[in-house]
Amino acid sequence: MGLNYQKVNFSDLEMHRDMRFGLSITSFKDVIGTFKSNDKYSLVRLSKVLSLEYGDGLVEQDRNENGEYPVMGSNGIVGYHDEYLIEGPSIIVGRKGSAGEITYVEENNFPIDTTFYVKVKDDTYRLKFLYHLVRVAKLSRLALHKGVPGLNRYDAYEVLIPVVPKDVQGKLLSEIEPLEKELFTLQAKLKSPLEVINVVFAKEFNYSATLWREFGKGMTAGTQKSNVKTLSTFPTPLSQINRSKIFRFSSRYHNPFTQQLRDILKNMPHQKVSTVIKSIKKGVQPKYDPDAGVRVIKIANMKNGYLDFAEPEFTTEEFYEKNKEQAGVELNDILICCTGKVSLGKIDIYEDEEPAILSVDSYIIQVDEQKVDRLFFTYFFRSILGSFQIERDFTGTTNQIHLYDTQILEFELPDLKLSEQKRIVNNIKKDLDAQKEIEKQIDKKQWEISQIIESSIKSR
């Protein structure tokens, strides 16, 4: 991997407060210049029109999911709460993760600390029209991909947008209103991959499909009352203590929600993971080398649905050969994260023939495909019946956030014929494909709206 050199003028360096080496100045100029000076209208920096304010921290266990106010993350609604931080309508901008993504919210809402929310400084802009302009500007292209993708608001402030008369804004909003109604209808049909998986398993095993939405809230170690964290206590029969090999006092283990999920699993034919796998191996601490050619798989690459190698890291052939027996990843290996509050339990399949090494924070699982379908195994441990076992068992008397191979071997999954497993997998795939089709239709509608905005502004 060689260095990529670009020539810039010293005068360009003043375009930004920080000296840039991640996003080149030439790329930066292209992004902030989405709208050109030869278009119909004069241009103004975004900093003159709005300010981007930080959202506030609101972790899942502190939310009241029965509340009426949407909790906004970087790419849309991530939950609900009984209090709001800002009044609607409002524009939310992704700050971390889905950095630069734009969401318009009609209701009062609570943007969390991975987001910015917009405060308008120039009332000549209608809020909905400003939302469309910022979407067309594609702030996501400004995201810096070092670790978790992030948007620097001072980058966004340099973006140029057109000064469009208010009457023209109104006419354009009227023109795109029918498309927005179609878009809203499509978005209402959209389900997350996790919801699709959980709905299929709930139907197959005859339990409530809404249980997965409560997952997390029911596993918390406390409840929130008037800004005071109170300890949850649960009466537990002594006969329940022997359900774990570790003497547990954790509310994650003994709360009624956990017991309900465990009983659902126990009331179906089930088997231990140890009976269906060939091997389980932990990754190693990589020796990174940017000029080498063997891929390293880290937690950041695992998205609990796919592996993302947009920002790859590498190690040497020599390191790979020395460690491949322990940590070499092969085609169709199952990978599961074993640490981290957010990452713990993420599970993905490696679907590439390219050699790779797994980092120390995850395990490699090879299943016996005469006994279990690898996609069924993976989907199951993304579902609530699998993920609750991870949530239940990761913390012991030390409260250390870690999952051990001995615990994974004790996990349980349904004992079904391969033909039944494949049928369930095919049902999940069919529903996931249907969601992808809806996503394509949403992208098409959003593109049509953007085209109306752009064509009305840009010179022909």
Percent of the chain with pLDDT over 70: 79
Q: What is the dihedral of CA 391, 392, 393, 398, to 10 degrees?
A: 90
Under DSSP, the state recorded for 293 is: -
What is d(CA 243, CA 389) in angstroms, rounded to the nearest whole number? Answer: 12
Q: What tokens does 380 get?
A: 């199951």
Question: What pLDDT is stored for residue 34 in this prediction?
Answer: 65
Q: Encode pLDDT of 307-317 as tens digits.
A: 988 778 999 99
What is d(CA 2, CA 122) in angstroms, rounded to the nearest whole number? Answer: 46
What is d(CA 66, CA 188) in angstroms, rounded to the nearest whole number? Answer: 19
Q: What tokens does 418 get?
A: 């391969």
* Model pTM score: 0.77
Report, in angstroms and rounded to the nearest whole number, the Rg of the chain calculated over CA atoms.
25
Instruction: Yes or no: say if 71 and 79 are a contact pair by the CB < 8 Å rule.
Output: yes
Question: What pLDDT is stored for residue 278 in this prediction?
Answer: 95
- Strand duo 328-329 + 356-358: pairing: antiparallel
What is d(CA 439, CA 433) in angstroms, rounded to the nearest whole number? Answer: 10
Q: In what order do the strands lie in the sheet with 102-105?
A: 50-54, 115-120, 90-94, 102-105
What is d(CA 116, CA 143) in angstroms, rounded to the nearest whole number? Answer: 14
Residue 24 burial (10 A CB sphere; 0-12, 13-18, 19+): middle
Within 13 Å of residue 126, how many CA atoms lie on the same side as its CB? 14
Sequence-separated (6 or more) residues with CB below 8 Å from residue 146:
22
Residue appearing with tokens 């905005």: 453
Q: What tokens does 189 get?
A: 């049909």
Please state the rounded mean pLDDT for residues 431-453: 94
Question: What pLDDT is stored for residue 80 in this prediction?
Answer: 87
Q: 394 pLDDT band (50/70/90 cuts)?
A: low
List helix spans (H) across 190-278.
193-205, 211-214, 238-241, 251-254, 256-266
What is d(CA 79, CA 66) in angstroms, rounded to the nearest whole number? Answer: 9
Please state the rounded mean pLDDT for residues 161-188: 93
Tell whether the model's pLDDT for residue 145 goes beyond 60. no
What is d(CA 460, CA 449) in angstroms, rounded to the nearest whole number? Answer: 18
Question: What pLDDT is stored for residue 259 in this prediction?
Answer: 80
Question: What pLDDT is stored for residue 235 in this prediction?
Answer: 56
Instruction: Yes or no: say if 350 and 330 are a contact pair by the CB < 8 Å rule.
Output: yes
Please state the rounded mean pLDDT for residues 106-110: 94
Question: What pLDDT is stored for residue 246 in this prediction?
Answer: 47
Tell whether the model's pLDDT for residue 227 goes beyond 50. no
Q: What is the dihedral of CA 44, 48, 49, 55, to 10 degrees?
A: 130
Q: What is the DSSP string of 391-450?
A: HHHS--TT---B--HHHHHH-EEE---HHHHHHHHHHHHHHHHHHHHHHHHHHHHHHHHH
Q: What tokens does 443 get?
A: 């992208």
Residue 89: is the preceding peptide bond cis (ω within 30°)?
Answer: yes
Residue 88 burial (10 A CB sphere; 0-12, 13-18, 19+): middle
Position with higher pLDDT, 143 vs 396 = 143
Q: Encode pLDDT of 397-430 as tens digits.
A: 445 578 889 989 999 999 999 999 999 999 999 9
Least confident of 20-24, 44-48, 259-263, 392-396: 20-24
What is d(CA 299, CA 345) in angstroms, rounded to the nearest whole number? Answer: 10
Instruction: Yes or no: say if 102 and 156 are a contact pair by the CB < 8 Å rule.
Output: no
Q: Encode pLDDT of 282-326 as tens digits.
A: 999 999 998 888 999 999 899 899 998 877 899 999 999 999 999
* Domains in the chain: ranges and CATH: 10-164 (3.90.220.20), 196-423 (3.90.220.20)
What is d(CA 137, CA 218) in angstroms, rounded to the nearest whole number? Answer: 41
Q: What is the DSSP string of 215-238?
A: TTTTT-SEEEETTEEEE------H
What is d(CA 334, CA 328) in angstroms, rounded to the nearest whole number? Answer: 12
Position with higher pLDDT, 177 vs 75 = 177
- Strand duo 76-81 + 356-358: pairing: unpaired
Q: Encode pLDDT of 244-275 as tens digits.
A: 554 444 445 556 777 888 889 999 999 999 99
